[in-house]
Copies of this chain bind each other. A is one copy, B any other.
């Protein structure tokens, strides 16, 4: 019912959404987040990005995040797809899609999964800018976003 994919190939947003909805007429809401590579970061132009990950642990971490979302909300399917390897501006990096009977649960669970993914799944971004290559630093905003979910909702 829930799936997690780590892949170097581009993913097909429409196919993933269609497969999630499948033929389940009980689904009333699908909320989808797509994170895309931008050509600017911290004021510098970024020409390419390389995404490294920790094979094995990534899947485990994402599985734990997805199971936690399933426990917290009444959901009818979650899809997480994350690319690794070389990426170019405009490329989708990650997609989280959540199906539910009603929209409130789908919105909350989708945002929860991406907030947790950003702070708990072992991925690292390296950017190529005109000044050379650099590792992206963790954003304070991401851990603040994650911590929201620990307080009573």
Chain A contact residues, CB within 8 Å of chain B: 13-14, 17, 21, 23, 25-40, 89-90, 101-104, 106-107, 110-111, 114, 141, 145
> Can you give 26 contacting A-B residue pairs, CB < 8 Å?
A14-B17, A17-B34, A21-B90, A23-B90, A25-B37, A25-B39, A25-B89, A27-B36, A28-B35, A28-B36, A28-B38, A29-B34, A30-B32, A31-B31, A31-B33, A31-B110, A32-B33, A32-B34, A33-B106, A38-B101, A102-B141, A103-B111, A103-B114, A107-B107, A107-B110, A107-B111
Q: How many copies does the complex hold?
A: 2
Flag if A30 contacts B38 (CB, 8 Å): no
Contact of A39 (CB < 8 Å), options: B26, B36, B90, B141? B26
Residue of B33, B40, B114, B145 near A26 (CB, 8 A) is B40
> Across the interface, do A36 and B30 meet the contact criterion of CB distance under 8 Å?
yes
Inter-chain contact B34/A38, CB cutoff 8 Å = no
Residue on B with the closest CB to A30? B34
Q: Please give the distance in Å from A149's CB to the nearest CB on chain B.
A: 13
Taking CB atoms, residues of chain B closer than 8 Å to A111 are: 103, 107
From known contacts A28-B35, A30-B33, A107-B107, infer whether A13 and B23 are also in contact, taking CB-CB under 8 Å: no
Q: How far is the CB of A106 from chain B (nearest CB, A)?
A: 8
Cross-chain contact A36 with B32 (CB below 8 angstroms): no
With A31-B31, A107-B33 as given contacts, are A38 and B13 in contact (CB-CB < 8 Å)?
no
Across the A-B interface, give the 3 residue pairs with the lowest CB-CB distance, nearest first. A14-B14, A25-B39, A25-B89
